[in-house]
Amino acid sequence: MGLIIGVVVTGANVQDRDGAKQIFNGIKDGMDRLCKIWADSAYAGQLIDWVVEHCGWDLEIQRGPKGGKKGFVVRPWLWIVERTFAWLGRYRRLSKDYEYLTETSEAMIYLAMINLMVRRLAETPDG
């Protein structure tokens, strides 16, 4: 299980690349050991240079399969994000967009991840 180090919820009118800049600006001071970030093709383009310039990290874009294969394809490292979204979707407050403020949505994501981590840490080794 991965640890969420930052969350930014934006309106639907904000491009993924612009939202990424918000999260990277928010976490860059506490992430001295972070070297590489994997992202899908929605984050390609000028963001790669921006991340290097402002944060000093390597942003590696994970492209889809060659040959234009249609449908779902597991890509290295990116499946972790999809799995995390599935875990978060199990929480009622996160299954739909009930919140008025984006800050409340962010807080609900943190609470859900805290709940997941505490439950996993509390599991006994024998099941």
CA distances from 127 to 11, 83, 84, 114, 118 (A): 41, 22, 22, 21, 15
Q: Which two tokens stand for residue 33?
A: 């050991």
**8 A C-beta contact, residue 22 and residue 8:** yes
74: closest CA among 84, 66, 86, 65?
A: 65
Say what the pLDDT of residue 122 is. Answer: 86
Say what the pLDDT of residue 126 is. Answer: 66
Say what the pLDDT of residue 120 is. Answer: 85
User: Where exactly are the structural domains of the chain?
Assistant: 14-64, 72-121
The pTM of this model reads 0.76
Over residues 48-103, the pLDDT tens digits come to: 999 999 999 999 988 777 766 677 777 777 778 888 888 888 888 888 878 888 89
**8 A C-beta contact, residue 78 and residue 89:** no
Res 125 pLDDT > 80: no
| Exposure on the CB side of residue 103, measured as CA atoms within 13 A | 0
Mean pLDDT of 33-43: 87
